[in-house]
Amino acid sequence: MIQPKRLFDALAVQQEKFPKKDMLVSKANGEWTPWATEKVRETVNRLSAGLLSLGVGGNDFTPEGADKIAIISNNRPEWVIADLAVQQTGAILVPLYPTTNPLEVTFILNDAGAKYIFVSNTEMYEKIQAVRGEVPSLQHIYTFDEVPGATHWSEILNASTDALQEKVAAIRDKIDEEHLATLIYTSGTTGTPKGVMLSHKNIVSNVFFSKESFPFPDDPSCKVLSFLPLNHIFEKMVTYIYLFSGISIYYAESLDKIADNLREIQPDGFTTVPRLLEKVYEKIMSKGNELTGIKRGLFFWAVALGKKYDNNISGGPWYNLQLAIANKLIFSKWREALGGRVSFIVTGGAACQENLLRIFNAAKIPVYEGYGPTENSPVISVNRRYPPGNTMFGTTGPVLNGVDLKFSEEGEICVKGPSMMKGYYKRPDLTAETIIDGWLHTGDIGTLIDGKFLKITDRKKELFKTSGGKYVAPQPIENKMKESPFIEQIMVIGNEKKFVSALVVPSFNILKKWMSQNNIPFTTNEDACKNEQVIAMYQKIAERYNAGFNHVEQVKKITLMPQEWGVDTGEMTPKLSLKRKAILEKYKKAIDKMYEGLQTHA
């Protein structure tokens, strides 16, 4: 039996234990096209050999000496094949988000010194071509799709020879578990991108501790849908759980096609981020609002039951009977919309609304929240599938097996273990600020509930202090207020200000219906956001939620925003977290207006 120590060992493990016809599957020309284990392994070896023919390799196997190969692509089998092939040469993969802006693309490629880059399609090819002249290290671009005027990746595959494949095998055997597998650039919500150095040991240890903790059994009959960007460490690490467990991976056509793909392939599970879960819920609630009569009453009765659900405390015989009826009449349709077979959804990357967790789990759609930064490969804690008693809504679950946890005096979460990064590439100064006495300082504030369940209370850098000297954590306020169906997005503000305020993006579909019911004409989003009756209604929503917060945390003023915040418009990170600094700068005038005439400094 192979003892896996490197990520690419997943190929040999799967070939030995459960060779599959559908290891990786994508949709082409309207048909799901499977890649068998043997085909993937053969293609990976050919690509590794072809890369050697280009002079790619680990050289002295140091982070600085090894060649860097970049990739910017949607999720697809070729992405994983390229990742595995680059690893086998001793080179280091540098993945980029397809949505990365040209300035950051240029910075990352230059900082890493990328030698070659794989791109998915015409759009990505043109994006790289536009900055190529500013990246002296970049020798060539290879495309997965056929792109006019571009070099198809098959040219590298065709350069493979038996002699080169023998050389690949010799190099592969020499690659140590401490060798870097990838450089993942993360900028978080502010700042210049930093290259997180993750070794095979870092990621493999997180794979097997997660597999054991969650747990994921070896199950060749299981299949999943993948749509979170593969260059994000969460989806990348989970991909290797799937590969080592014999789970088939189907790649969604696009974010817009997720709903269709779920119904088509009927997966056992998938990973996601809270923002996408919120959108699923908003879509369901929007359809519920269109119902009339008894159907409408039953729908909202079921949702109200779901909000009261607690997996650890029985609601009693009467509640359980009602929930069973709700599951048969209402929630069964929700499950069908997700394919009808989902047994797990893992969410991470940001805090998930507790209401969503209660409702989905009540509907027998098990959602498990986890937590961890890129710097820890990434998982630190996760709520568990089983045994019972290892899930608590509103927390990120028990700490992963193999991870040591402590809290600083400020309550910052600190961890150490084999999953902790090697450091930031070419930034020993930042590494020294983050890894102190062997402990990774995450920048997140947290606490343990019942001595077992980790709860994230806020980002250390997102805590702000009012002009009265009181600290405020914005995330809990934002998550609570997002429970209102009228609020699509919200950012709480108040650093060095006299009181707390908020920018709010309304849920315009819900708002339009409310305006119609109240005989208020709707013309444009902009006009609706300036309407005095609308503003007063949102202020009342804020006041209702304020009752659950301390006086200093209460939102005193709000400003409505006419457009949803997004990645393309610069307000959100690719993992759909708020870019607070960018929002503060972009909407400075609107923010200043809320504090006009007030002395905001102590």
For 317-360, what is each residue's pLDDT tens digit?
999 999 999 999 999 999 999 999 999 999 998 788 899 999 99
Residue 57 DSSP one-character state: S
What is the structure's pLDDT at 188? 52
What's the gap between Cα 257 and its chain centre?
18
What is the structure's pLDDT at 599? 43
- E strands in 236-393: 248-251, 269-272, 344-347, 367-371, 381-382
pLDDT band for position 472 (cuts 50, 70, 90): confident
What is the structure's pLDDT at 435? 97
What is the structure's pLDDT at 9? 97
- Maximum separation of any 2 CA atoms in the chain, in Å: 78
- Return d(Cα 13, Cα 25) in angstroms, integer: 19
Provide mean pLDDT across the span 432-440: 96
- Return d(Cα 482, Cα 500) in angstroms, integer: 16
pLDDT at 602 over 60: no
Provide mean pLDDT across the span 225-247: 96
What is the structure's pLDDT at 229? 93
Q: Which residues lie closer than 8 Å to 420 by C-beta, 6 or more apart?
A: 202, 375, 376, 377, 435, 440
HSE-CB for 560 with a 13 A CA cutoff: 25
The helix-helix angle for 9-17 and 233-245 (nearest 10°) equals 30
What is the structure's pLDDT at 189? 47
- Return d(Cα 257, Cα 588) in angstroms, integer: 36
pLDDT band for position 598 (cuts 50, 70, 90): low
Q: What CA–CA distances, in Å, run from 58 to 72, 168, 274, 528, 537?
A: 21, 11, 38, 58, 61
HSE-CB for 423 with a 13 A CA cutoff: 14
Provide mean pLDDT across the span 23-33: 95
Question: Tens digits of per-residue pLDDT, 113-152?
Answer: 999 999 999 999 999 999 999 999 999 999 999 999 999 9
pLDDT band for position 14 (cuts 50, 70, 90): very high
What is the structure's pLDDT at 381? 98
Q: Which of 391-400, 425-434, 567-576 has the lowest mean pLDDT?
A: 567-576
pLDDT at 413 over 60: yes
- Identify whether the C-beta of residue 75 lies closer than 8 Å to the C-beta of residue 229: yes
Provide mean pLDDT across the span 550-578: 90
pLDDT at 7 over 90: yes
Q: Which of 238-247, 256-265, 458-467 has the lowest mean pLDDT?
A: 458-467
pLDDT at 436 over 90: yes
> What is the full DSSP assignment across 143-190?
ESS--TTSEETHHHHHT--HHHHHHHHHHHHH--TTSEEEEEEE-TTS
Provide mean pLDDT across the span 239-252: 98
Percent of the chain with pLDDT over 90: 81
Percent of the chain with pLDDT over 70: 98
- Return d(Cα 273, Cα 517) in angstroms, integer: 34
What is the structure's pLDDT at 600? 37
- Return d(Cα 195, Cα 185) in angstroms, integer: 4
Tokens coding 14: 């799967």
What is the structure's pLDDT at 1? 52
Mean pLDDT of the chain: 93
Provide mean pLDDT across the span 297-325: 96
- Return d(Cα 275, Cα 571) in angstroms, integer: 14
Burial class (CB in 10 A: 0-12, 13-18, 19+), 267: buried
pLDDT at 593 over 50: yes
Residue 599 DSSP one-character state: -
pLDDT at 64 over 80: yes
pLDDT band for position 99 (cuts 50, 70, 90): confident
pLDDT band for position 601 (cuts 50, 70, 90): very low
pLDDT at 536 over 90: yes
What is the structure's pLDDT at 213? 94
Strand partners for 405: 415
Domains in the chain, CATH or no CATH each: 9-175 (3.40.50.12780), 464-594 (3.30.300.30)
- Give the Cβ contact number of residue 253 at 10 Å: 18
